[in-house]
A and B are shown apart, each in its own frame.
Chain A
Amino acid sequence: MNLHEYQARDILRRHGIPVPSGEVATTPKEARAIAEQLNGKVVVKAQVHAGGRGKAGGVKLAANAAEAEAHARAILGMKIKGLTVQKVLIAPAAEIASESYVGVIVDRASQRPVLMVSPAGGIDIEEVAAKTPEKIQRLAVDPRYGLLPHQALGLGFFLHKDVKQARAAADIMQKLYAAMYDVGASLAEINPLVTTPDGTVQALDAKISIDDNELDRRPDIAALRDLSAEAPEEVAAREAGLTFIKLDGFVGCCVNGAGLAMATMDLVKYYGGEPANFLDIGGSSNPQKVVAALRIITGDPNVRSILFNIFGGITRGDDVANGIVQATREFPLKVPIVIRLTGTNEREGIEILKQAGFSALNDMDEAVKKAVELA
């Protein structure tokens, strides 16, 4: 789960990292009031889960409160990478002497948290890594001891020659590392970390991604989820215990297991179709999950055929069949459906489908080919 910039800034501030003041507005009027309070030049920043906000026109400087209101009016409601801007952050426009990058991620290769710092701040760190890798320093942290003071200071000196600034940056790194474990983040970055002309080091922009597996034990963090920033059908799927991701194609897919679901999408493409979605009904399926899945798939007007690919293990064929029959009683299907059913309770499942007038196939390739043909 991604947090908005303003939410990430709050978390950093709570962990003692210096962050300039600023507040969130949902209307141009609110934006004006906040700017008046800040009394001076402000920056108006779109709060959406997308990179490249600046380039898209979602970040604007305002000389006064009236200008802040006008910018907010332009930015609120605009679309950035398909996402509608519903909130803007109004923050004082900082005077910047230098910009750097500080981030911590859970690194898959070293299986440890890794601190990454770069004096090339303000731009995408992937770009820095690709073009000027010598400008990045990485440090794999032993999670049993955490980020040690001398390690942080070493990285601090990679960013700043001045010992006071190096110490300030090191302190921020240790607090950022602590914040990561504290909120259950898989990524926490400050970009840019800036120095102002008077030498103060502070976090100007922040990004935090929370590991979804942490949300059950951190209700305060789970409450930060912004449902309006997500596709409604993905929200509905999550509530039904399904994993659903909308794609641009026309063959609606319903599969048990994430790997098989991806392989099914790939096979749709292999046979000349385009998958309309990724949908994993998960392990212990019950008929209700299948009903919810079909409701979501049929809600997509681009879907021209529906493909079930079920390889029963924990998932039982009769559960899936009952779900399909029940769903089609509740809402008749307007597009053809192709069902591949094999594994646990396959015979029972096929019998249930037969009695309701459906047929089932045993082979994955055959089923996918047919679903593409019918689309």
Chain B
Amino acid sequence: MSIFIDRETRLVVQGITGRDGSFHAKQMMAYGTKVVAGVTPGKGGQQFEGAVPVFNTVADAVRSTEANTSVIYVPAAVAASAIFEAADAGIALIVCITEGIPVLDMTKVLPYVRERGARLVGPNCPGLISPGKSKVGIIPGNICQPGKIGIVSRSGTLTYEIIHQLSTHGMGQSTCVGIGGDPIIGTNFIHCLAAFEADPDTEAIVMVGEIGGTDEQEAAQFVSEEVKKPVVGFIAGQTAPPGRRMGHAGAIISGSSGTAAEKMAAFEKAGISVMKRPADVVPLLEARL
């Protein structure tokens, strides 16, 4: 098994004719993801790559193709609107890759999505991959291997580094979830930890956090109370100065809160094995499995 996405995933790509959307739609199709529809207003009726019907609205796409998952590649200015639209169309899992959505927009998007029973992953995230089954987003498929390790991360390329370490040492992955680097996101560490804990095919979990906020501390508390599987964790930004936004909108130490030291201490206390560097992931997992 895997979490959130698998062979049953029927994907609609919002922004499929755009530069990023078309590139990654092809990559996902090549990986074997069931891309059943694309949406670009005004291009309804066209075929993408001669194989995927394009619709004007997500509602049309869902009616015709029974899409259950959407991935969003539209520009930041219209990305919040794209999430509203997907939720309204009854999409169960909405993955928003777009970076740059104003945080005040997200305060309105999230209640709307939740009231409709949908799950949002992101925004500002690389998406998900269940190796060998389905890929939704931009995580390079060639670095992944099917296996038993679940990964949840706030980062993009740092996640690739961790996946690369695991795959080159023969440790495959059940699902890798990039939850995004923004201060307000739809799916957090705890949602993923709970799903991995319940997934019979995940044997151990890797958490990749970073400075800013208290999500990792709350996740650590959750691990100590609810998670029986081994968990290994990393926090990026041990050398980051306070008060500066380190690339990700959410990666900022406010006052004295949200430091790497504080998060690593919370991990230790919860029995999470703490990596000092990405290369520690393999030996720490080996020690726990």
Contact = CB atoms under 8 A, between A and B. Distances in A.
B247 A280 contact: yes
A124 to B, nearest CB: 8
Interface in B206-224: 208, 210-215, 218
Contacts of B260: 266
A205 interface: no
Contacts of A256: 157
Chain B interface mostly = loop
A256 B156 CA distance: 9
A77 to B, nearest CB: 24
Interface string B219-239: 000000000000000101111
A344 B208 CA distance: 22
B76 A216 contact: yes
Interface in A192-213: 211-213
Nearest to B24: A314
Interface residues of B, number: 61
A245 B210 contact: no
Contact of A258 (B139, B215, B247, B256): B247
A342 B181 CA distance: 23
A70 B236 CA distance: 48
B255 A211 contact: no
B214 A313 contact: no
Contacts of A364: 161, 278-279
Interface stretch (A151-159, A178-186, A351-359): A178-186
A346 to B, nearest CB: 11
A142 B107 CA distance: 9
B148 interface: no
Interface in A255-288: 255-263, 265-270, 275, 278, 280, 283-284
A254 B102 CA distance: 27
Nearest to B248: A258
Contacts of B10: none
Contacts of A126: 255-256
Contacts, number: 167
Contacts of B157: 255-257, 259-260, 311, 313, 315
A343 interface: yes
A257 B237 CA distance: 13
B1 interface: no
A258 B126 contact: no
Contact of B213 (A108, A280, A343): A108
Contacts of A212: 245, 249
Contact of A213 (B100, B160, B278): B100
A270 B236 contact: no
A126 B253 CA distance: 13
A223 interface: no
Interface in B171-186: 181, 183-184
B104 A180 contact: yes
A280 B107 CA distance: 27
Contacts of A311: 157, 160-161, 164
Interface in B135-176: 138-140, 143, 153-161, 164
Contacts of A260: 155-158, 160-161, 236
Nearest to B247: A258
B89 interface: no
Interface of B: 20, 76-77, 100-104, 106-108, 110-111, 126, 138-140, 143, 153-161, 164, 181, 183-184, 208, 210-215, 218, 234, 236-241, 244-251, 255-256, 260, 276-279
Given A108-B183, A267-B278, A365-B277, 20 more contacts: A108-B184, A111-B106, A113-B104, A144-B108, A212-B245, A213-B249, A216-B76, A245-B246, A257-B158, A258-B246, A259-B247, A262-B237, A265-B237, A265-B239, A267-B277, A270-B277, A278-B247, A280-B247, A312-B140, A364-B161
21 contacts: A108-B250, A142-B111, A143-B108, A143-B111, A213-B100, A213-B101, A217-B77, A256-B157, A258-B251, A259-B158, A260-B161, A261-B246, A262-B247, A265-B240, A266-B239, A267-B278, A268-B239, A311-B161, A313-B138, A313-B139, A343-B143
